[in-house]
Structure 1
Amino acid sequence: MKVGITGFSGEQPRVLPTMLPDAGAREAWDVRLDDGGLTPTRRSRLVATVTANHRTIYRHNGTWLSRAGDVHFAPGPVAQDRLYYTGDGAPKMQVAGVVYPLALPPPAAALTASATGSGTGEVFTRLYVYTWVTSFGEESEPCPVSNELLWQSGKTVTLTGFASAPAGRGITKQRIYRSQTGKVGTYLYLIAERNASNSDFTDTVPVDTFGESLPSADWNAPPDGLTGLVSMANGMMAAFTGRDVYFCEPWRPHAWPEKYVLTVDYPVVALAAIDTTLLIMTEGQPYVAQGTHPSTMAQKRIELNLPCINARGVVNLGFAVCYPSHDGLVSMSAGGTPSLVTGNLFRKDDWQALSPQTAIGSQLGQRYMMFYDTMVGTRRNAGAFAIDLSGTAFLVRHTITAGAAWYDLRNSALYYCAPGSGEVQELHPTEGSPNVLSWSSKEFLLPAPHNFGVILVDSLAALTAADQAALDADRAAVLAQLAAAIPISDLGAPINAKPIGELLVGGDVFSVSLAAISGPEFEAIVIADGEPKFSIRHLDRPVRLPAGFKARSWEIAVRSNVSVKQITLATSMADLTS
């Protein structure tokens, strides 16, 4: 008889240990589980420092940003140097490190038009407006329409009432528009652009000489309370306030026409976009809105009674959007097809014990990453796990905590700050020293008591020279920290100088450790009927197990910083090779 484990998988905590798949795990920590074997993740790498204890981190054009609140950053669809964001007061735009209000106010007062001289011929009614134009090419809404002016050829029109350009928005120009009547009606057309000025303007532009029509007649500035900003295809952006979902004018992120607003039945919690589909998560049922232009967006309510309970937990994986509900993690495709992906992972009470209302969601590869931090009585319960959605859902736990996290789509990297810290760490970088993974198998329950006599653990790959060099560098760094810390520590202090209970029993005054950074480390423990029976430290060769007992229940627990390909338990050497 033999038991072989390969194609390793992760945890399904809700499933009984004996009912797990043969490659399933009772525990899986710091292991990749993306190559069929047991391969350790890599130690986090420090990449930057931001203000400590901020809830939002983001990198734009190589510069790390952070905010104390929950801020939604989105790169602009018009220029690489522009960054747009909501959640930090009124909506804002950042250009070359300078922050501007996103709203571009229109001129407040109407122009006064007056005519001098005598005219002849047909009489025309003229109206005038003007707009502000910024150095970034943005154009405001027009001012109120001027008084009606009866004009004939030969008369000179003077416009007065121009305001000085307001400061703080990069306004450099004015565009002046005049009404013109054609076959399809009367509209306003560009007749002049000049430097922003409060000087009067004399209209000497011939009646048949005019430029483009006024584009911003029905544009509006974004509401101050707009939040949840996301980018969409075709130059669109979306955000919300209350139950209203707003869309910007395509390729014009400063303009948010009210004519495009969609209203849903429940307060909106978060938005996410996949191509031309906007997923709208609310305090009630979710919605999808689809269209290639804000004017064609059509909304549909999804008949799913799983409200979104936490905007920070919403993650766009590209192929689906995940959000936390009271009952578990919900996944929605671009078509709006929903599923409760944690159905085989958590009961409702176990899920609620993780405080999904305050958890942070992010992405690790194609997996949903959740950072949780809550109190169970007087005990802190904090950690992280990644949920694999590629087939039957399973999770992998990670020995980190986070108070802020951000996934960089451009290099497929997850960055985080530990609670209260300003150190930005890259989680599981492509280079660096390996972690020590921990993986425990399912409980193999045999029909009758049995004794296995041999175990073979095949390695997938030994530590590379780069891995060993990274471990050596980590060890040198730890030794340097200890050397610096010991002279100023409490070692040698008087008895009773520190209060009882300040450290855990067996704890350490130092936050660094030499464990698992010296070289290859491997241990497999064979567990029979719930009791550890034997420990092996050899890879790629059979090891005999102790005799003299039989058991129905068998498990294997592995700790390793080298990769494992397969584990085989067998009754005898002959069975091992059969």
Structure 2
Amino acid sequence: MSAFRISGFSGLVPRLAKQLLAPYQAQIATNCDLTSGDLRPRSGPKAVFAPVINNDIVSMFRMEKDGNEKWLAWDRDVDVARSPVAGNTSRRFYYTGDGEPRVSDYETATRGTGPYPSGCFVLGVTPPLKAPAISISGGAGAVVTRAYVCTFVTPWGEESKPSPAATATANADAAWMLSNLDTAPPNSGTVTGASRNTPLPGHVEVMLDSVFGLRAHEEITFASVSGMTDLNATFAIHSVNAGTNKIVVPLSTTQIYIAGGTWARKAPHNTHGMIKRIYRTLSTSEATEYHYVATIPAIATAYTDTASDEDVALGEILPSANWEMPPADLKGILILPNGVAAGFSGNEVHFSEPFKPYAWPTAYRQTYDQDIVAIGFTGTTLVGMTQGNPFTITGVEPVTMGGGMEKLGVAWPCMAKRGVASFAFGVGYPAPQGMVIIGASSDIVTNDLFTQKEWSELNPRTFIAASADNRYYCGYTIDDSSLMFVIDKTERASFIRINQRISCIWTDPATGRLYVAAEKKIYEWEGDAGSKLSYEWKSKKFVTTPPVNYGAAKIDADFDVSEAELAATQAAHDSAIAANRAVITQRGMDDGLADPGLGEYAIGGDAMDEIPPLIADSLQFQLWADGALKFTKKVSNNRAFRLPAGYKADNVEIVLSGNVKVTGAVLAETMDGLKQA
């Protein structure tokens, strides 16, 4: 007598034929939670924030201070790293991808009503360009030779590389008068001219009152330009000529500049309250080093030094001799466990001084022979993903990390920077061959799930991913249709699809919670315990010889609703009603033809949330035989039920759909046969 039992539900294995799957594996597994081996529904996402943003959310970041939570959102691919400094009470953070590398904190980033971040500064400190001028007055002591430099220091304690040195010889006890000291670089100024198609077609050369502190790839905004009004916008600088005070921006225009105009940095220098530190050389039998002399306001252009060598010897040695700003086109910023910030540009990896993400010595740069797509880290190892072979860099101190660079001997190109995710055991990313994990061992970890053809059908170039609980959560797009999937290598349910369109996915490293963005809103993934997604699970094709007629079935499921589930459902229901009432009160439904939301919702749609039902438990069973649907039943208890007679088939499949926890299913030719299965 033929019978079969399914116990311990699992996900898809697309590379296997449907009849070769194990009894617990699926042809379809959508919206399922299979982590326990039971078939469970996933909880719905919980709306947590609706940022002020014009386009789809591509990147997001949660900030919290003193119990207050704010969300930052971008329509660009932005990487964010929290400050590694202990006692980061200001919640300082660093980010790349939104123009030049930038730094902000809670207060600066969340001023006003949004969009957030509403404020930032350029990451790093522009050094003084001019060497001090030295003049001498008086003195009768020993004759010495000294060199002087100065640095800028922001209100946040970030120090620049020193200015060029000025050297003089005079009596040690003389008054050494320094002048010609640079003031802080400007954050805005005036436009004095503009020439179209110069120096290249499709570019405009703009003359400014000053280019001090401006670099190629930084963003600049022009306003009030007459004649060439196309210039009144924000641009990434193509090049800077310090000798002529000219910059070049990409702009194709037929207009002629007439007069006027202003410019302003998108990411200003942190100059309010900036100071200058002055250092001078002091020679000993062992070395000549720059020692701290004095601090003066950044606006001061002169200083007179009368300090003795004995006093100066007690001063701090210049720490920033080799500190550079990070490249203006730096991407992928992250903080390694040793406090070193890392990023990449082109085919170079850049490292900062430990716990000083504003200081990036040139000597720490490492060059690779292929362009870099993304970086990640596992432990103290940085993983570089490229257009060809991946590489790793291992070390503790950035000055020695170059010796730990290792090129992997296999070409596994990274197909999507946003598809990279870090796990406890390595860094994962999509390659043409499958999902790669680089860690203690490196391999294609989806070979047992997909052939390369099946993997490519997921369109890996569109992947946007994050890891949570060491699972790979990924959104992808095929033919303008967006879905999600989950890969979990630690359980039998290795591949599951989810009917959810998302534009962004992110795991909060502070809490481990997973968040997604959809329709310009941010949701906590499975954060709404009061709502359940409806799942669908289709079994393997069970083949029998000779053909049989399965006449009985039994589904083991949990139809009881706990008090906690009832309370969560009621809370979700009430919350949606309250949110919709607030939308109506504020007249923000965006459901009229003249409303700003026109085009964002389907005809008849609006900005209100869907109200979840109070009780929504359901379970449907389907029996398919020889590829045809034979029977459908709404299941509401654990009692066995009869299946239709009048046919025999050599293959059957079952489909379970609903939102009830199922622990097992059994089919047999007779009711008595169920007991023996």
Matched residue, 1:300: 406
Match of 2:630, SS?
Answer: strand
2:221 is matched with which residue?
none
Shift of 1:140: 0.7
Alignment partner, residue 73 of structure 2 = 66
Partner of 2:137: 116
Q: Distance in 1 between matches of 2:532 and 2:282?
A: 72
Distance across 1 between alignment mates of 2:643 and 2:491: 36
1:394-442 residue CA offsets vs partner (Å, 9 max, x unmatched): 2111111112222213333222222xx2111222126221111111111
Q: Say if 1:197 and 1:149 are closer, same or farther in 2 by CA, change over 3 A.
A: farther
Shift of 1:455: 1.6
Rounded to whole Å, the distance in 2 between the matches of 1:488 and 1:147 is 68
Letter in 2 for 1:42: S
1:407 maps onto 2:507 in alignment: yes
Looking at structure 1, the residues matched to 141 and 515 of structure 2 have their Cα atoms a distance apart, in angstroms, of 73
Mean Cα deviation higher: 56-65 or 511-520: 511-520
Q: Per-residue deviation at 1:71?
A: 1.0
Preserved CA contact (<8 Å) 1:161 1:198 = no
Q: How has the CA–CA distance of structure 1 residues 287 and 574 changed in structure 2, closer, same or farther, with 3 Å as cutoff? A: same
Stretch deviating more after TM superposition (355-364 or 2-11): 355-364
Residue number in structure 2 paired with 1:494: none
The answer to whether the aligner puts 1:163 opposite 2:182 as a matched pair is: yes
With 53-62 and 95-104 compared, the bigger mean Cα shift is at 53-62
Cα distance in structure 2, aligned partners of 1:478 and 1:22: 43
Post-superposition Cα deviations, 1:498-536, rounded to whole Å, max 9, x if no partner, equal xxxx99xxxx96699889764311111122222222333
Secondary structure of the corresponding residue to residue 468 of structure 1: helix
- Matching residue of 2:49: 48
Residue 499 (structure 1) aligns with: none
Q: Which residue of 2 aligns with 1:84?
A: 94
Mark the CA change 1:208 to 1:489 in structure 2 (over 3 Å): closer, same or farther: closer
* Paired amino acid for 1:384: M
- Aligned CA distance change for structure 1 residues 481 and 94 (closer, same or farther; 3 Å): closer
Map of 1:224 onto structure 2: 328
| Number of the residue aligned with 1:205 | 307
Aligned-pair distance for 1:195?
Answer: 3.3
Question: Of the candidates 632, 651, 665, which is equivalent to residue 567 of structure 1?
Answer: 665
Whether 2:325 is the aligned partner of 1:324: answer no
1:173-232 Cα shifts (integer Å, max 9, x gaps): 221111111232111111222333424222222212231211000111111111111111
Are the equivalent residues in 2 in contact too, given 1:475–1:518 (CA < 8 A)?
no
SS at match of 2:565: helix
Conserved? CA contact 2:35–2:493, under 8 Å: no
Asked if the contact 2:93/2:104 (under 8 Å) is kept, the reply is yes
Rounded Cα–Cα distance in structure 2 between residues aligned with 1:292 and 1:488: 54
| Alpha-carbon distance in 2 for matches of 1:408, 1:513 | 26
Q: In 2, are the aligned partners of 1:450 and 1:550 still within 8 Å (CA)?
A: yes
Encode CA deviations 1:9-68: one digit per residue, 9 max, x unaligned. Answer: 101112111111211011011111111100100111111012142322222222111112
- 8 Å CA contact 2:573, 2:613 repeated in 1: no
| Residue 155 of structure 1: how far off its partner (Å) | 2.3
Is 1:452 the equivalent of 2:452? no
Q: Name the aligned partner's letter for residue 270 of structure 2.
A: R
Larger deviation, residues 423-432 vs 20-29: 423-432
Give the AA of the match of 1:285: N
Percent identity between the two aligned chains: 32
Going from structure 1 to structure 2, the CA distance change for 1:510 and 1:543 (only over 3 Å counts) comes to farther
> Does 465-474 or 198-207 show the bigger shift?
465-474
RMSD: 2.8
Q: Does 1:398 align with 2:498?
A: yes
Q: Which moved more, 1:259-268 or 1:540-549?
A: 540-549
Q: What TM-score, normalized to structure 2?
A: 0.76
Partner Cα separation in structure 2 for residue 514 and residue 531 of structure 1: 36
User: Could you say what secondary structure the match of 1:18 adopts?
Assistant: coil
Amino acid at match of 1:186: T
Q: Secondary structure at the match of 1:447?
A: strand
What pairs up with 1:157-556 in 2 under 5 angstroms? Answer: 157-167=176-186, 168-170=269-271, 171-210=273-312, 211-297=315-401, 298-333=404-439, 335=440, 337-375=441-479, 380-390=480-490, 394-418=494-518, 421-429=519-527, 431-460=529-558, 462-471=560-569, 518-536=615-633, 537-556=635-654
Give the CA deviation at 1:479.
Answer: 13
Q: Is the 8 A contact 1:471 1:519 kept in 2?
A: no
For 1:473 and 1:197, locate their aligned partners in 2 and report how far apart those are by CA, in whole Å: 58
C-alpha separation between the residues in 1 aligned to 2:445 and 2:95?
Answer: 31
Cα separation, partners in 2 of 1:180 and 1:475, compared to 1, 3 Å: closer
Name the counterpart of 2:35: 34
**1:147 equivalent in alignment to 2:247:** no
Paired residues of 1:313 and 1:324 also in contact (CA < 8 A): yes
1:576 maps to which residue? Answer: 674
Number of residue pairs matched by the alignment = 551
TM-score, normalised with respect to structure 1: 0.89
For 1:532, the aligned partner's letter is L
| Offset at residue 291 of structure 1 (A) | 0.6
> Is the 8 Å Cα contact of residues 348 and 372 (structure 2) preserved in structure 1?
yes
Q: Which residue is equivalent to 2:238?
A: none
Identify the residue that residue 496 of structure 1 maps to in structure 2.
none
Distance 1:481 1:127, change over 3 A: closer
* 1:478 Cα offset (Å): 8.3
Query: Greater shift after overlay, 68-77 or 353-362?
Result: 353-362
C-alpha distance after superposition, 1:239-262 (max 9, x if no partner): 011001000111111111110000
- Residue 3 of structure 1 corresponds to 4
Q: Do the aligned residues in 1 keep the contact of 2:341 with 2:357 (CA within 8 Å)?
A: yes
| Structure 1: tracts of 5 or more residues without a match | 491-501
The DSSP-based 3-state class of the residue aligned with 1:312 is helix
- CA deviations on 1:57-84 (whole Å, 9 max, x unpaired) are 2222221111121111111112352111
Which of 145, 150, 156 in structure 2 is aligned with 1:136?
A: 156
